[in-house]
Structure 1
Amino acid sequence: MEAKQFMKKSTGVLGLAVVVAAACTAGAWYTGKQLPGVLETTIAESNAQTKQALLGMETTMELQLVSLDSRLFSSTAKYRLKVQNLQVGEESKSFELNFVDQIEHGPFPLSRVKALKLMPVMAASHYALEKDAATADWFALTKDVSPLQGQVAYGYDRSMDSAFQVAPIEWSKDGSSLKFSGFEVSGHGNEGAEHVQLTGQSAGLSLNLVDPDSKVLKVEIKGLSLTGDMTKTPFGFYVGKMDMAVADTVATFGDEQKVLALKGLAQNNEYKNDGDKLSVRMEYKVADINFDGKAIGAGEMVWSLKRLDIPAMQALIGWYQSRLPEFQKAAAEGEGMPDLAMTEAETAQVRSDVQRLLAAKPQIALENLSFKTANGESRFNFSVDLANPSSLELPPQELYKQLITQLQSKLSLSKPMIGDLATLQAQFEGQTDAAIVSQQAAQAGEMVSMMAVQSQMAKVEGNDIVTTLHYADGMVDFNGQKMTVEQFASVIMANASAMQATGG
């Protein structure tokens, strides 16, 4: 009786194993059939996104599928990344990178099972940069580990989970050295990569350069991070948030080996679209600046662009890219706008795109430029609202009047902050008498305040020296005084002449 029960159980287990094996084999066969199409679609989407990212630049990048060797349970793919006209310093370089990809077929790739990732997937990809004559020196820096490698899990719903690694690097020669901890980015994309999330991190790098004159430059960067949450628009590019940060940066340089330390460096970008209009907000921050052992302060800069007409902007960028060599030649020769030979149709199209861009009433703003010291904070903001003039052929004065509907700015200088900077300057110049330093600091803010009020360029509000400007409908409001544009220009010119005379 017990033997019969054992036989029944064994038969059941064996049957289950056969069913699982059959399911895995069928899944692997299905993957083998689907994989070529999935790779072609993924590569096409990647190239389209790269083209969008490089729009308006001379650099081009294209990923190609060189070969695909498919077996029942695995495949080997080879790719080539062609890069053309990449600007490196003052040189333009073109090169190719070759990658090999070992692909495990689903539904249960062995590498995922070992990592206890048991959700079925179509395939698990493991790609790496190949070593060849062009990359041999790079491999030498990474101790023969592939410098670029990554993993991608392709879901049956066309979602992707990925990880990308830049290998650690070590280099030294003639007293100079570089040590980089490597960088890793992981991400998730849903079907067709309509929504993409990214996270990246690196412990940092240290660089020690010694020149022939024995001058030393040391740079140490710690705590690099990247986060992104992006959604694809109908126009082919992504909007959302992309944030980057560096926890600590220390640079030692110069004959006296002065030390500059920065903490809390951050760049936070946000892109939004409302229909066919794009808005962009870019924040740049540094939480703490220290130089030569002395606390300097903290700073922030925030730019924004609003109501940018996307089709018009893309058309103008595409036109600029088509004439890029002419613009580059003019810049190299120190000229302004190049003398472009344009057909009537091309001229009409560019003007139409410019007017469509202006018809959306875009706004460009420096929302905040601030600097904070121990005892005070100064701020500046500026914004200009644009509109579509009746014609781009109007006389300059009338054109600007119709083009700029509103301009406003405000500068607020903190007298205590000016004093802090005067104190630092005195200390850097070697002044050690505390009484003299304190007196100079107190006088600095008051001197700037007195000069600003006497010239009528600013008002004093408490501990702040404030200048305001507002322009609309051909009239200027400068520090509460209304005047025409011509009168405002006269005031500025008169003060500029007075300052030059004083300086002389």
Structure 2
Amino acid sequence: MKKSVGILSGLAVAIAVATTAGAWYTGKQLPAGLERSVERGNAELEKAVAGTGGSMTVELVSLDQRFFTSTAQYRLKAKDINLGEGKVLNFDVAMDDQIEHGPFPWSRVKALKLMPVLAASNTTLRKDELTAPWFAAAGDQAPLSVHTSLGYAGNVDSNITLAPLKVTQANGTAVDFSGMHLEVSGDQDGKDSKFHGAAEHFLMTLVSDQHPPATFELKDLKLGGNLAATEHPSIYVGNVDLLLGEAKATLGPKQQVITAKGIEQNFLQTLDGPGTVGGRVDYRVADITWDGRPVGNLQMGVSAKSLNAAALESLSKWYQAHLPEFEAAQAAGEAFPRIQMDEAEQAKFQGDLKQLLASKPKVALENVSFKTANGESRFDLSMDFASPASFDLPPDQLGKQLVSEVKGKLSLSKPMIGDLAAFKAFLDGETDAQAIAAQASQAGEMVGMMAVQSGMATVQGNDVVSSLHYADGMVDFNGKKMPVEQFAMMMAMHFAMASR
């Protein structure tokens, strides 16, 4: 018995010594560590707002150090960030950080997290004149809080919590948000990170004197990912996945309900060769209904391969720097902006573009499909690029050298076209089942007949099919081969006839 008591006493002394030594060590390391964190945070914020014409920074205002704990205060400032459509973001908010020194911070011990850590940080948004409405919507609790632990190996684990919010205005406009929880883990420099989070629901009701009320609802949001840095600072590899159980909108005088279920977005980016990167995004919607009436489901994949990483990074920075010009062109309805570049910038831009094309990148739309109860239509398109001898070539020669191969295939299901025609008749108020069935049957056949007569497609069973293959200046269009110039003239004639 005495031996057991002695062992326990020795263990208690060892823990006390380790705790005291850890607290002393953390206290010594804390100021420099916080400064490094602020510097890294500002570097990331600078990247995030690049091209917006504004800035966002975090500042360490004060640090009150004690032996076992410390208190830090920060300010997060945003200035003149262009959100588009004439909207500019400006704010200045304060945050309080209660830091517990390691190796056994009490907040972790209470949560039965007994792995020793260097420090634990508990950061909350401070209530002031600007944030008071947010606090009120959250039931007067901190609307944003972050708990972070720093391991001795430099690993960082954070739990980010957005509190539930409820806001109702006098006219009935309201927001009801369940709150969100996000867990992030990674190394101290942010080069490798894993994250996952979830939110149960978000409901917004918009009430206006000029329009009928509109309701938007999202349910069961989940997201997760695993990202790793590369030698190129702005390029990461890994995956990001987003899932949404249901999205619902109630709109119009009749308060019609549009529902989409099983919404997914899956992003994957990899290093697919020496100095090149490739990526893919897949979108899926499992079920779409209108006032309870089935519409269909859809999916789409977008992929890019063999993109020179250095050139891609440089061109991304160029795009961010000229983002206002692109937004102005979009607002004016122009396809491309008029960007003024001096000789040095133009030479740099063309050099980066040539380097990007030298790796022969490939871009594709894959399995773009829409499926209804009776049929499925699909579209696939891929384009291979190459670096031209010069960007000063005449447009026709530049195009031939720039695009080395194109493959495309469109398959329209006549039964699917019929389903959509029946659905349109339903929306138009048609109630006669026989009339709706007749419209559905005629729609698919009419599309097939028009496609064959125009030479734009062929009919294969229940599908209207159009295929295209271009390479070496020759086009194979639905089995007919011709020079690209002849194909361009033929398409121009078809478009001119269609526009009459």
TM-score under structure 2 length normalisation: 0.93
What's the CA shift for 1:439? 2.2
- Determine if contact 2:232/2:313 at 8 Å carries over to the other structure: no
Pair 485,64 (structure 1): closer, same or farther in 2 beyond 3 Å: same
Contact persistence 1:86–1:94 (CA under 8 A): no
**Residue number in structure 1 paired with 2:356:** 357
User: Following TM superposition, by how much is the alpha carbon of 1:412 offset from its aligned partner in structure 2, in angstroms?
Assistant: 0.3
> Hey, what does 2:25 align to over in structure 1?
30
- For 1:273, the equivalent position in structure 2 comes to 271
Whether the 8 Å contact between 1:226 and 1:242 is mirrored in structure 2 is yes
In structure 1, the residue corresponding to 2:271 is in which secondary structure?
strand
- The partner residue of 1:107 within 103, 111, 114 is 103
- Structure 1 residues 446, 335: CA separation in 2 closer, same or farther (over 3 Å shift)? closer
2:168 paired with 1:172:
yes
Quick check: 100-109 or 27-36, which moved more? 27-36
Of stretches 363-372 and 178-187 in structure 1, the one that deviates more from structure 2 is: 363-372
Shift of 1:325: 4.6
Pair 250,43 (structure 1): closer, same or farther in 2 beyond 3 Å: same
Secondary structure, aligned partner of 1:193: coil
1:241 positional shift? 0.6
Quick one: which amino acid aligns to residue 71 of structure 2?
A: T
1:319 matched to 2:314: no
Match of 1:296 in 2: 295
Q: Following TM superposition, by how much is the alpha carbon of 1:60 offset from its aligned partner in structure 2, in angstroms?
A: 3.6
* 8 Å Cα contact 1:55-1:317 kept in structure 2: no
Aligned to 1:72: 67
Q: Which residue of structure 2 aligns with residue 215 of structure 1?
A: 212
**Residue 441 of structure 1 aligns with which residue?**
440
Aligned residue number for residue 385 of structure 2 = 386
> What's the CA shift for 1:158?
0.5
Q: Secondary structure at the match of 1:192?
A: coil
**Distance apart, 1:351 and its partner CA:** 1.6
Inter-CA distance 161–416: structure 2 relative to 1 (3 Å threshold): same
After TM superposition, the structure 1 stretch with the greater mean CA deviation from structure 2, 41-50 or 68-77, is 41-50
Counterpart of 1:299, as a letter, is L
C-alpha change, 1:86 and 1:109, in structure 2 (3 Å) is farther
- SS of 1:144's partner is coil
Normalised by the length of structure 1, the TM-score is 0.93
Bigger Cα displacement from structure 2, 126-135 vs 40-49: 40-49
- Counterpart position of 1:46: 41
Query: Any conservation in 1 of the 2:226–2:238 contact (CA below 8 Å)?
Result: yes
Partners in 1 of 2:337 and 2:441 — Cα distance? Answer: 52
CA distances 1:383-438 after superposition (whole Å, capped 9, x unpaired): 21111100111111111111110112110000110111111122222323322222
Cα 1:326–1:90, aligned 2, differ >3 Å: closer, same or farther?
Answer: closer
8 Å Cα contact 1:59/1:87 also seen in 2: no
State the alpha-carbon separation in 2 of the partners of residues 351 and 455 from structure 1: 41
CA distance in 1, matches of 2:445, 2:361: 40
Counterpart contact for 2:184–2:196, Cα < 8 Å: yes
The one-letter code sitting in structure 1 at the alignment partner of 2:239 is: K
Count of residues in Structure 1 that have an aligned counterpart in Structure 2: 496
- How many Å apart are 1:41 and its aligned residue? 2.9
Residue 481 (structure 2) aligns with: 482
Provide structure 1 residue ranges, at least 5 long, that are not aligned to the other structure: none
* Alignment correspondent of 2:158: 162
Establish whether residue 250 from structure 1 lines up as the match of residue 248 from structure 2.
yes
**Which residue identity is paired with 2:248?**
V
* Per-residue deviation, residues 147-194 of structure 1 (Å, max 9, x unmatched): 111111100000011110111110112222211000110122135333
Question: % of aligned pairs identical?
Answer: 47
Equivalent residue number for residue 285 of structure 2: 286
Q: Please list, as runs of the form range in 1=range in 2, the aligned pairs for 1:86-125 lying within 5 A after superposition.
A: 86-87=82-83, 90-125=86-121
State whether residues 58 and 321 of structure 1, in contact with CA within 8 Å, keep that contact through their aligned partners in structure 2.
no
Task: Give, in whole Å, the separation in 2 of the partners of 1:106 and 1:126.
Answer: 13
Report if the CA contact (8 A) 1:370-1:377 is conserved.
Answer: yes
Structure 1 counterpart of 2:127, which letter?
K
Q: How far does residue 34 in structure 1 lie from its aligned partner after superposition?
A: 1.6
Distance 1:207 1:97, change over 3 A: same
* 1:113 alignment partner AA: V
- Deviation string 1:426-475 (CA, Å, 9 cap, x unpaired) is 22223233222222222211111111111111111121110001111111
CA distance in 2, matches of 1:54, 1:192: 20
- 1:229 is matched with 226
Instruction: Give the Cα separation in 1 of the matches to 2:20 and 2:91.
Output: 40
Contact 2:50 2:321 (C-alpha < 8 Å) held by counterparts: no
Q: How much is the aligned-residue C-alpha RMSD, in angstroms?
A: 2.2
Task: Return structure 1 stretches of 4+ with deviation > 6 angstroms.
Answer: none
Would the alpha carbon gap of residues 497 and 349 (structure 1) be closer, same or farther in structure 2, given more than 3 Å must change?
A: closer
Q: Which moved more, 1:96-105 or 1:473-482?
A: 96-105
Q: Which amino acid aligns with 2:187?
A: N
1:264 aligns with 2:259: no
Distance 2:94 2:103 in 1: 28
